[in-house]
Amino acid sequence: MVNKLSLADQVEFEGLLTRNQLLSFYQSLDAYIHASEGETICYSIMEAQACGLPILASDVEGINNVISEYTGGLLYKNSAKDMATKISTLLDSEEQFYGYKKQSREAAVTNFTNFNNAALLYSKLS
């Protein structure tokens, strides 16, 4: 598809990354965009939040119960138009952009420790 749309000079497929390479990859990003039809537990979003990245993600179950404007992210309907609108929203204000970065990291620190994950899972099963 990339070649068909003549995007080879704009799209790079990283392939399988080691943990250290993955960390470096996340740290090289300005924001993390996640397109999905649905998720259970999305580790890539949690990893991106741990790196303090603003998150733009599909408004689907498994994501919309974790990502919000209060946890450093924006949700979009699965359309190119809505995704582009939300990217513009994120980039409209430098202050807002850095606010999302801060909220994203804070959400990861607050919600994604071993203790918190176990407690959260237990509370949902009870």
Asked if pLDDT for residue 49 goes beyond 90, the answer is yes
At the second CATH level, the architecture of 19-112 is 3-Layer(aba) Sandwich (3.40)
In the chain, beta strands by DSSP E: 32-34, 55-58, 73-76
Asked if pLDDT for residue 124 goes beyond 70, the answer is no
Asked if pLDDT for residue 126 goes beyond 80, the answer is no
Entry pTM: 0.81
Domain locations in the chain as residue ranges = 19-112
CA distance 13 to 30: 17
Token duo for residue 110: 């607050």
CA distance 66 to 114: 17
